[in-house]
Every structure is written in C-alpha cells, then in structure tokens.
Amino acid sequence: MNYIDRFALVEYYLAHLDPVMASIGDPFVKSRYLGFIAVSAVTTYELAIKDIFYAFADKKHVILGEFARARFDQLNGRIKLSSLRNEHVKMFGERYVLKFNKKLEQCEQLSITAGRGSPMSSWGNIITWRHTFVHQGVAPNTTTYQEIKNTYDIGKEVVHCLNAAMCR
C-alpha cells in the first residue's frame, strides 16, 4: 500500500466527526473523542512509516524487505523523532539519517515561515496526547478538536520527509 493512502482513512473519519463534534456539549465525552483521534492519527503515522520502510527495503533486496517486516512489525508507538532518527532510519545507514534531518529542517522552516506551525512540535504533541490517553486514560483536555486536526495535518509532514529521505 502507498503510504499516502493511510492518511485517507483518518481524513474520512475526521470528516465524519466534524458535525458530530460541534454538537457534543459534554466536555468529558468531547475529550474522549479527542483521545481517540490522537490514537487514530498516531496509528496512521505508524502504518505509513511501515509502508515507507517496507517499500524502501523491498527495492533494495528481498531479504532486506523480510528483515524490515520482522523489525518493524512491532513498531507500537515508538515513533518519536529521536526514535525515528536514532533507531529506525539509522538502521539503513547514516546517509539516510542525514537526508531525513535535512528534509525535516527544510520542512520545519517552510512551515513556520508560511504560518502553519512546526511539524516537529506537532508530531511530538500528538504522540504525547496519544501516549497519555492510551497509557494513563487521560484525554487531551488542553486542546480543541480543530487544534488536534491541525496538529495531525501538520505532523503528516514528518512522514512526507521520511519518505523523501528514504529514496535513492
């Protein structure tokens, strides 16, 4: 599957939730929805990352493809930027870490200059919200539905940078 196709699933879900979220008056229920959105977003990021690594490894060699599948089968939320750089991308060589860092810095500057916000901060925020919701049962209560949607959208840029870096 092409990694971009993964995003369509969350975006379909969000489009469905747009009118629903506006009608929810109970802050507790609304916060639970925000937690579920964070889980969906991070799961989508994980699946897209796996797709990128699998496609890259398959192009290199069939055995590397099998190794990548075994290695990334249990990614399970370990996608903080430090993990992506120092564990996952590094496995394929320092050259790809340098490319990933360069792509991220370029993207970060362009996004901030355009007034969209920081892809790296957005990435970290949504992963934190997901982690807190899943492991502590605490939903994001300091954010709004629109903010979590924007954070997810801006955070996708990290996945696009990873894809661009994992090309020959």
Predicted pLDDT of residue 65: 86
Predicted pLDDT of residue 142: 83
Predicted pLDDT of residue 73: 86
10-residue averages of pLDDT along the chain (168 residues):
92 94 93 94 95 92 89 85 94 95 98 97 96 89 91 97 93
Predicted pLDDT of residue 75: 78
Predicted pLDDT of residue 51: 94
Predicted pLDDT of residue 1: 81
Predicted pLDDT of residue 87: 92
Measured between alpha carbons, how far is residue 107 from residues 93, 102, 119, 125, 145 in Å? 22, 9, 8, 17, 24
Q: Which of 44, 2, 69 is nearest to 155 (CA)?
A: 44
The contacts of residue 149 (CB under 8 Å, 6+ apart) are 14, 37
Predicted pLDDT of residue 71: 87
For the whole model, what pTM was predicted? 0.93
